[in-house]
């Protein structure tokens, strides 16, 4: 354990600032609210916080359109508030990392305002500009969020490039002045004491400078229609392949490795900081690049099964370089919440416990998302005027214009597939607005009414059998057993397709971790690991009276999580 860095031992907890805690009663989460909840986070047992963008922003893309890399959005507080938050988190033994958006800025950022002011402005080359061809954009590239990737700027008569929304112009990372300016912003936060960064959308930073046309024969609208009409696995796979081809010249281009090495050198000027990439590209996880990249493939299933997890771990751990460290997650602010994602409609609480136990027992650093600990569900907005995610508005329009769906059906799809569903405010109590903000205040997004059914912190804190208290016990258990943090991972053959079993060994411990992912009780033979095991943790309580469990006939209840010392 002593040889590990703090980020290898930590459990990270992502905070979505706008929805976590409203400290001043205006319906918007803020830094003061986060400060007020630090004791809660400490009692939960997390070690590090990842703060989604807190920078000044027009909020076109929920803060990922940054207007000032070294400031704090006024609705969240100010730099003094941030310093206090950082100091108080550190005083409680928790680290804090920030989101770093490198691909683009807001079109309201002073850099872009200067860049678009004239053709000869000194910052003209800070963004990707092109005069076009024959009065048209330079090519037919698309924005991944819809429409063309080139926007004509009337002020100078040229086009600027944006991979995301047109309000998010891409920075020109071939320009050394851009690199210097962003590294200065990085040092600003590191000088303050921030413990590192999660790097947003790093695969989109470079595009092919030759500007070749995509070889995909479909338009973006046609791709949308095909994806919605695909019914078989083969059709969905074909659409996925064409989608990759459509954006091939715009993502994962040469230059990323050198850029990440340059950023790593900046970060290594400081002691003990971390870089986490929003990517599952293992080639970026190197001693001189990123410390961590996410194991996103693990979450890309509707059901966690032993076969799925074992194959994921076989591939992932097999491909990681010997010096690299794994990083696992099942949720974040861009995907469905963990509870509804893996809920089968009947066994949600048990499946939520299995999801957490999996994160905390697999080899690597776990990332959790705020609200998972109380089992928050996705909330589907019923009124399009309440959407805050522009993607939902896009889906709402396309469902009607391309597929001919009625407004009500289009609204249902937009709500279920946009990102607002997983970004609603965290419920702190069984009170109006879930205790997030005063009853007379309208929160920035609707509060999921499930708070009245016990999906809130206060009710679950008072219930020993709640999901929240299971999170606390499970996080404490992980901290007490170094093998779950530093130990090797070895799969174990259980003989049952419903049982996932593996061994974590190290730091003087050899632990068996077994999940019965089926709905029937099973008896498995794990005698290859030894004759008996000392049960340490189970989701069945009390599990059994015996002091030791025979491994040649180990019984597991439906959906049980069992951890034992072998």
Q: Is the dihedral of CA 216, 220, 226, 227 positive or negative?
A: positive
Return d(Cα 188, Cα 100) in angstroms, integer. 12
Tokens (6 digits) for 93: 């033994």
Contacting residues for 492 by C-beta, under 8 A, at least 6 apart: 501, 502, 503, 512, 526, 528, 529
Burial class (CB in 10 A: 0-12, 13-18, 19+), 441: middle
Query: E-assigned strands of 155-262?
Result: 158-161, 196-200
Question: Taking the CA of residue 397 as centre, how many other CA atoms within 13 Å lie in the half-sphere pointing to its CB?
Answer: 9
Q: Are 559 and 355 in contact (CB under 8 A)?
A: no
Long-range contact pairs involving 311-320 (C-beta distance under 8 Å, separation at least 24): 313/362, 313/363, 313/489, 313/491, 313/502, 314/491, 316/282, 317/363, 317/489, 319/282, 320/282, 320/285
Neighbours of 122 (CB within 10 A): 10
Return d(Cα 410, Cα 260) in angstroms, integer. 41
Q: Would residue 332 be called left, alpha or beta, if left means φ above 0 and alpha means ψ between -120 and 50 degrees?
A: beta
Q: Are 273 and 195 in contact (CB under 8 A)?
A: yes
| Length of the chain (residues) | 566
Return d(Cα 189, Cα 6) in angstroms, integer. 19
Burial class (CB in 10 A: 0-12, 13-18, 19+), 416: middle
Q: Would residue 364 be called left, alpha or beta, if left means φ above 0 and alpha means ψ between -120 and 50 degrees?
A: left
Return d(Cα 231, Cα 564) in angstroms, integer. 43
The conformation of residue 364, written as its DSSP 8-state character, comes to: S
Long-range contact pairs involving 549-553 (C-beta distance under 8 Å, separation at least 24): 551/512, 551/525, 551/526, 551/527, 552/525, 552/526, 552/527, 553/523, 553/525
- Beta strand 95-101 with 196-200 is parallel
Q: Are 428 and 461 in contact (CB under 8 A)?
A: no
Instruction: Map tokens 């912003």 to a residue.
Output: 185
Q: Are 60 and 390 in contact (CB under 8 A)?
A: yes
Residues serving a catalytic function are 200, 278
Return d(Cα 62, Cα 75) in angstroms, integer. 13
């Amino acid at each position: 354990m002593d040889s590990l860095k703090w980020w290898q031992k930590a459990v990270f907890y992502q905070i979505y600032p706008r929805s976590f805690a409203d400290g001043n009663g205006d319906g918007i989460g803020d830094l003061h609210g986060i400060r007020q909840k630090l004791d809660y986070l400490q009692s939960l047992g997390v070690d590090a916080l990842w703060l989604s963008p807190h920078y000044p922003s027009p909020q076109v893309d929920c803060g990922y359109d940054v207007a000032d890399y070294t400031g704090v959005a006024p609705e969240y507080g100010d730099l003094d508030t941030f310093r206090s938050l950082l100091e108080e988190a550190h005083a409680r033994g928790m680290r804090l990392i920030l989101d770093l958006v490198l691909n683009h800025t807001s079109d309201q950022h002073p850099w872009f305002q200067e860049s678009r002011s004239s053709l000869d402005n000194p910052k003209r080359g800070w963004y990707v500009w092109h005069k076009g061809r024959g009065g048209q954009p330079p090519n037919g590239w698309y924005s991944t969020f819809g429409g063309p990737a080139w926007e004509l700027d009337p002020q100078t008569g040229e086009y600027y490039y944006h991979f995301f929304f047109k309000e998010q112009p891409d920075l020109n990372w071939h320009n050394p002045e851009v690199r210097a300016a962003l590294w200065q912003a990085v040092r600003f936060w590191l000088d303050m004491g921030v413990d590192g960064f999660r790097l947003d959308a790093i695969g989109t930073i470079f595009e092919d400078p030759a500007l070749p046309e995509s070889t995909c024969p479909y338009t973006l609208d046609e791709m949308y229609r095909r994806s919605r009409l695909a019914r078989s696995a083969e059709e969905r796979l074909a659409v996925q392949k064409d989608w990759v081809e459509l954006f091939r010249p715009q993502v994962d281009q040469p230059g990323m490795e050198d850029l990440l090495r340059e950023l790593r050198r900046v970060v290594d000027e400081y002691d003990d900081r971390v870089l986490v990439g929003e990517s599952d590209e293992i080639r970026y996880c190197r001693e001189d690049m990123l410390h961590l990249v996410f194991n996103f493939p693990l979450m890309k299933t509707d059901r966690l099964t032993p076969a799925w997890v074992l194959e994921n771990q076989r591939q992932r751990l097999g491909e990681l370089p010997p010096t690299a460290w794994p990083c696992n997650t099942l949720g974040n602010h861009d995907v469905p919440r963990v509870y509804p994602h893996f809920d089968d409609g009947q066994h949600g609480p048990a499946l939520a416990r299995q999801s957490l136990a999996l994160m905390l027992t697999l080899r690597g650093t776990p990332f959790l998302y705020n609200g998972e600990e109380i089992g928050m569900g996705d909330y589907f907005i019923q009124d399009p005027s309440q959407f805050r995610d522009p993607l939902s508005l896009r889906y709402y329009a396309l469902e009607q214009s391309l597929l001919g769906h009625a407004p009500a059906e289009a609204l249902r799809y937009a709500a279920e597939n946009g990102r607002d569903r997983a970004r609603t405010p965290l419920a702190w109590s069984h009170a109006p607005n879930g205790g997030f903000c005063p009853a007379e205040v309208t929160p920035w997004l609707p509060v999921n009414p499930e708070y009245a059914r016990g999906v809130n912190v206060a009710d679950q804190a008072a219930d020993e059998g709640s999901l929240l208290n299971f999170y606390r016990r499970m996080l404490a258990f992980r901290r007490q057993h170094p093998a779950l943090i530093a130990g090797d991972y070895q799969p174990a053959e259980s003989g049952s397709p419903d049982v996932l079993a593996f061994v974590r060994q190290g730091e003087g411990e050899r632990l068996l971790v077994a999940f019965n992912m089926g709905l029937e009780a099973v008896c498995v033979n794990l005698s290859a690991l030894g004759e008996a095991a000392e049960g340490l943790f189970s989701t069945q309580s009390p599990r059994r009276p015996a002091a030791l469990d025979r491994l040649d006939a180990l019984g597991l209840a439906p959906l049980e999580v069992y951890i034992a010392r072998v």
